[in-house]
Structure 1
Amino acid sequence: MSRLHIVHTTHYTYARTVSASYNEARMRPANLPGQTVLESRLTATPSTFSTEYRDYWGATVTAFETLTAHDELVVVSESRVDVSPVLLGGATAGWDTLRAPDLVDRMSEFLAVTTATEPDEELRELARAHADGATPQDAALAVCGALREAVEYVPGVTGVHTRAVEAWQARKGVCQDLAHLAAGTLRSVGIPTRYVSGYLHPRTTSAEIGVAVTGESHAWIEYWCGDWFGYDPTNLITPAGHHVVVGRGREYADVTPIRGVYAGGGTSTQQVEVRITQET
């Protein structure tokens, strides 16, 4: 088990004074098997009102508004979380189970085609080639491996609105793109897959206790074949001690860390910093 201290700061500055802004943030980790939130808080400065609720997908949402004039907005989410590997037992499900009508109905949201994850025919063929003759579990890992081998990790070449097929055609992207690619490609052969948003300590094998490092929001997937199995297609690893789940959904749009609207202000710039410290 490891204890992680996460400080996620988002700083907006505006070209002109903003008269009012309304926002919602999904930055607070979830309490899950293998993940215990010891403390968590989110503050926005300035803010005139805030409230919290649990959204449809289960994520904790902090909704806040600022009804006073402001030239900048700073949002800080700070959490301490104990994380440990989750041991899953039992046999994994075969294709007959995944194709059963009741299972398809129950998992329909994580089998659905979405704008961000929809695969093209080349990706569908890649999925079929790796699924042929393999178990769903082996197929899922093989597809993730093939995607990662083909797609170079290059920050800055894609954005939050980039679709999976666009990253695939460029053969470049970041963790969000690889998670979208894996989700859509696995769904195309009938493996329920959900998009996971959270954090990752970047030094998964060499973290120094008590030393803060620069991290970032991270994305990976969980696929179902008898149980939910987490997998990080960017790093080709199973989450175990350094991944922290914030939210799950069909795609990035379901678990966007922060979004909102404002009146006035003109253009805005955003600076994001994530600092992660392994404490134990």
Structure 2
Amino acid sequence: MSWQIRIEHSTGYRYASPVVSSYNEARIIPQTGESQLTLEATVRTEPAASTYRYWDYWGTQVTAFDLHTPHTELVVTGRSVVQTAAAPPRPADVPSWDQLTDDSLADRFVEFVRPTVSTPEHPELRAAALELAAANSPADFLPAVGDWVREKLSYRPGTTEVRTSAVEAWEQGVGVCQDFAHLALVLMRAAGMPARYVSGYLHPSADAEVGETVSGQSHAWVEGWLGTWLGFDPTNGIPTGEPHVVVARGRDYGDVPPMLGVYSGGTSTSLGVTVAVTRLG
């Protein structure tokens, strides 16, 4: 079974005084891959700017543009239509823990087994990861990590920011999907499982009605290596599937920000983000 989803993602900035020059990158175009096909994708800016696209080191399509006309507002809107499918089944020959922690596999996926600023090492988290790994096969480890993360974190918007590390969120006991994903990555990597951060969109209803436009959300989840990359959404405690739309992958949020840029001019006084999603079929 597959879904077809239309997504409109709009990000707006307002400045206290005119911005005279800016250089920007947007990572809001969904990827095409094994379980997902992007049928249409456009990125528009107000004021209008010429854009160009490239793929970054992690395989994410980036829309870059610069503006040199004075402006006090900037709106960047991505519109796309994506066909999604159920995640691939778990392979029959899932690697053992000994295979996952072998040096050759660690060398192959070195960027996805090492800690980062957002997913740092911590002795208590490492101990928890090893305890979970001892009690679960690699095949059962991902959902066990999701259960552990949801026991330690309460979902509460506005309590963390993009620079909050997994350890900081864990110590506070609250966070958003980004923090759930970062904390899961700490545990997965501490146990020796290659793990990567995924950003994208989530349709809020698993049984969405065709044709109904609803308020969606940017979302984050994780993928673990089990002979192939398998996705899991620790915030909701479910494997990824048709409602999940992949935009970018990396080591952590720092590799996949939806908007990134520098500018010269007035300070930013507001930022508004809206995501509208429609299941088309």
Cα distance in structure 1, aligned partners of 2:216 and 2:135: 39
Q: Please, which of 187, 191, 198 is the counterpart of residue 189 of structure 2? A: 187
Cα distance in structure 2, aligned partners of 1:236 and 1:86: 15
Deviation at 1:48, TM superposition (A): 3.5
Deviation at 1:91, TM superposition (A): 1.6
SS at match of 2:238: coil
Greater mean alpha carbon deviation, residues 262-271 or residues 237-246: 262-271
1:66-94 Cα deviation digits (max 9, x unpaired): 11000100100000001011333322110
SS at match of 1:198: strand
Query: In the TM superposition, what are the counterparts of 1:145-184 in structure 2 within 5 Å?
Result: 145-184=147-186
Amino acid at match of 2:159: V
Cα distance in structure 1, aligned partners of 2:269 and 2:218: 21
Check the 8 A contact 1:48/1:68 in 2, yes or no.
no
Cα distance in structure 2, aligned partners of 1:263 and 1:256: 20
Deviation at 1:49, TM superposition (A): 2.8
SS at match of 1:157: coil
Check the 8 A contact 2:87/2:231 in 1, yes or no.
no
Greater mean alpha carbon deviation, residues 263-272 or residues 74-83: 263-272
Deviation at 1:186, TM superposition (A): 0.8
Amino acid at match of 2:133: A
SS at match of 2:185: helix
Cα distance in structure 1, aligned partners of 2:159 and 2:144: 25
1:92-117 Cα deviation digits (max 9, x unpaired): 11012112221110010000110101
Deviation at 1:140, TM superposition (A): 2.6
Check the 8 A contact 1:47/1:64 in 2, yes or no.
no
Cα distance in structure 2, aligned partners of 1:104 and 1:138: 20
SS at match of 2:236: coil
1:8-65 Cα deviation digits (max 9, x unpaired): 0001100111101110000000001110111001111114332110000000000000
Amino acid at match of 2:245: V
1:223-265 Cα deviation digits (max 9, x unpaired): 0122111000000011111000001000001000001011011
Deviation at 1:127, TM superposition (A): 0.7
Q: Match for residue 202 of structure 1?
A: 204
Deviation at 1:133, TM superposition (A): 4.1
SS at match of 1:168: helix
2:67 pairs with 1:66 = yes
Deviation at 1:126, TM superposition (A): 1.1
Cα distance in structure 1, aligned partners of 2:229 and 2:69: 45
Deviation at 1:191, TM superposition (A): 0.5
Q: Match for residue 230 of structure 1?
A: 231
Q: Match for residue 129 of structure 1?
A: 131
Q: Match for residue 12 of structure 1?
A: 13
Deviation at 1:266, TM superposition (A): 2.2
SS at match of 2:222: strand
1:119-150 Cα deviation digits (max 9, x unpaired): 42221111111111421222232122111122
Cα distance in structure 2, aligned partners of 1:193 and 1:264: 39
Q: Match for residue 269 of structure 1?
A: 270
2:45 pairs with 1:44 = yes
SS at match of 1:132: helix
Deviation at 1:183, TM superposition (A): 0.7
SS at match of 1:3: strand
TM-score by length of 1: 0.97
1:47–1:21 Cα change, 3 Å? farther
Amino acid at match of 1:237: I
| Matched residues, number | 279
Check the 8 A contact 1:47/1:67 in 2, yes or no.
no
Amino acid at match of 1:200: L
Amino acid at match of 1:240: G
